[in-house]
Amino acid sequence: QLGKIGVTASVAREHVRDILDAEDFNISLQIKADVAGTKGEIFRLHGSIITEVNTKGELFVRAFTTEGGEIRLTTVGTRVNDLKSHYIGITLDDGRFAVSIDGKVSAEAAFLGTLKSDGTHSLIFGNPWKAANFNGDLTAFDITVGEAAPLAATTISSLAYDSSINSDDYVSASSFLQPALPTIWFGFGSDV
């Protein structure tokens, strides 16, 4: 559940550090709004990548590069705050940064370098300054790094809609979380 004020869950930086030096990566997640029209932050690795849903229901992704750039991508026509489950892929592959919603690329841009790696911040779900969080469920989250990382939009879509997948097929990352926070599943599976 992401709708609470502040940080809902956190994964220590040491467990996500590989994404910062990666020329190829894929972040896959599944969200479902609890309230129609909700807006707010989903997750951030502060100074590297931030994701949120805007007032129009579009996904907005900010990524900061080692080359000093800032990439801002906003999906068009996706409305991820409509009470339906949506499967999101955020991919860096051969200098191309793309956001897919439900298996279709909705925004993309050239990306020079890798994700900027400043500070010691952990990957967090929710906004640490008590700004609005996306009011809904995060039912899947996965980060893949390396040459094999980018999944084609059809692959993400196929994985996401496969009803035979259940949470027992994935290893819990609860040992990565800070105390007293919910479990995050790496793979398509359980609620946070």
Q: Phi, psi (5° rounding) for residue 175? A: -70, -15
| DSSP conformation letters of 31-93 | EEESSTT--EEEEEETTTEEEEE-TTS-EEEEEEBTTS-EEEEE-SS--TTSSSEEEEEEEEE
Residue 4, pLDDT score? 82
Question: Half-sphere exposure (CA, 13 Å, Cβ side) for 36?
Answer: 1
How far apart CA 123 and CA 180 sit, in angstroms, is 16
Provide the residue-wise pLDDT of the chain in tens; the chain has 192 residues.
Answer: 888 888 999 999 999 999 998 999 999 999 999 999 999 999 999 999 999 999 999 999 999 999 999 999 999 999 999 999 999 999 999 999 999 999 999 999 999 999 999 888 999 999 889 888 999 999 999 999 986 544 433 333 333 333 333 333 322 233 233 332 333 334 434 444
How far apart CA 89 and CA 76 sit, in angstroms, is 15
Q: What is the pTM of this model?
A: 0.77
Residue 147, pLDDT score? 66
Residue 21, pLDDT score? 87
State how far the alpha carbon of 66 is from the alpha carbons of 17, 23, 74, 105, in Å: 14, 11, 21, 24
CB–CB of 144/25 below 8 Å? yes
Residue 160, pLDDT score? 35
Residue 115, pLDDT score? 95
Residue 146, pLDDT score? 85
